Chain A
Amino acid sequence: MSATTPRTYVPRNVSVADIERLVGMGHAREGAPADSIAGVTPRLVVEPASTEEVSEVMKLASQAGLKVAARGGGTKLGWGNPPEALDLIVSTARLNRLIEHSAGDLVATVQAGINLDNLQAQLAKAGQMLALDPPGHACTIGGVIATDASGPLRLRYGTVRDLLIGITVVLADGTVAKSGGKVVKNVAGYDLGKLYTGSFGTLGIVVEATFRLHPLPEAVRTVVLNVRTPAQAGEFVGAIGRSSLVPSALELEWAHNAETAALYVGFEGIAPGVEAQAEATMQLAKTYGECHTVEAEEAQDDIWRRLRELPWQHSEGVGLKLTCVPTAVPSLLHALLTGTGSNRCLYLRARAATGVILAVMAAGAPADFAARIEELRRVAGQHGGSLVVLHAPPELKRAVDVWGPVGDALPLMRRVKERFDPNRTLNPGRFVGGI
């Protein structure tokens, strides 16, 4: 996107002062290049401080026909298609409170703009955690929900959908609507929390969320095994699956041109428990290759902090997310590793027991890139999975459909969007099928 100048949209009849009347002086401003999303600069940025203010802002925005995007920590704003249009960014920066932590009930309610690390630090005081480890330390809860971001721990605890028990959202027209509640078990009404999770801000702006929490583990252990081929990695992962071991995370890391790949198996629990599991894992791993156990807490922290981050963070490459059934991970890795030239893989990471692969690929010419994506999509599709282009320069993103095919439910997804946001106020064009 470097070649062209970002275009600024001119919203109808709305000035900074108009918005300031809703949120107070100094909490709305002109957009700047730093606010751009995939090269599109908003004219206005607002930082509301309450659900009511978000609602007032959305009423005004939808009446004026502004196109709106919500912003949390800004760590994953590049995901999805570039926006078709963008007039106003609603930042959740001032919606950053832990509203309630009911430790005895293992439940916490937060505002959407709270920083995840900050939240974890507060929960840790009571020996608890929100069992999510998405990439991006600046990320906010709202952003994690909207992008359905997850990390290695999903193997044990699941993803946002498994932990979110209540949510409040402001719809495009300013309607404030909640679903779920503050108790872990609850089937009253539709579970809209799941609908909003991973909807990339196209249905509403998340303002509040309630999560079920977990106790912080007393002890952790990490077993590292070196493997030579994807098939060997697959065999080991299969053996773990058939055993009665309960790993919290199982990550495979494969750097380009490396002779071997490392498989990291993480355990959480009480000290004697993780020791026993690590020991059993070592016994199993020995027959596959060189292995060792990491006990020092700091060393383990380093490993998992690294594995949680997106591998393309500090790379020139393109970032892909592929999914498949777990047993097909070796086939997909094989397909990725056979890429050459501008399509070669620089780095691979696999949540091997879940069926998620994060790949960093060299960024080639748009036509080559598109052909390669097509090819990889076919392989992923054969194994029930998908490929999403998460991180790429806009000219490559525009060469492909970043989401890929979504199957026969796409018309239904469009109907959902039409009902929730008929005027396409929120994040137009960014989601699947141009939603």
Chain B
Amino acid sequence: MSEAVSALNNAYAKGAITVQEVGPQGMITLRGDLSDAAFGAAVAQVTGASVPGQRKITHAGANAVAWMSPDELLILLPYAEVGAAVSSLNAALAGTHFLAVNVSDARALFRVTGKPGPVREVIAKLAPADLSPDAFALGDIRRTRLAQVAAAFWLTQEGEANLVCFRSVARYAFDLLATSAAAGPVGFFRQG
């Protein structure tokens, strides 16, 4: 079997705020009835995490489940476990109206790390979204655009943001984030 390589082979931009392309990261797009108990049980079975509420992300160890739309979740889990997880979902949800697809190789994942306020600013400079601590907290996920491309991001902790986009625009997204980070903080978010 060929060796899986992430879009930018873990490109890294060093500075007061670092930007790194991480991965390969396992990702599954799961669509269905999020309010259905059997659906929730299937999600819990493969991730250990519960179905998140609107615009929320739930975690269980290295796994996470992100709310993408009223009928869509993004499941994050180790790359090597995706095949088995999709099989489990297909078995658990057979007979219901659902879709489970391995999108690991169709996405790119980035991590922005630094001081809490400046990390928020790196994204705030690129997206038409409110990144203030009052509007965007731990456990929230926001789908929006990053300059010209669609992206979604969440905080894994204060001072560390994860961001996903389509693999085809990985270089563009990385360059945006690295440029935004290199430009330095503007002090907009009074968070240290």
Are both chains from one complex? no
What is A's interface to B at a CB cutoff of 8 Å?
A: none
What is B's interface to A at a CB cutoff of 8 Å?
A: none
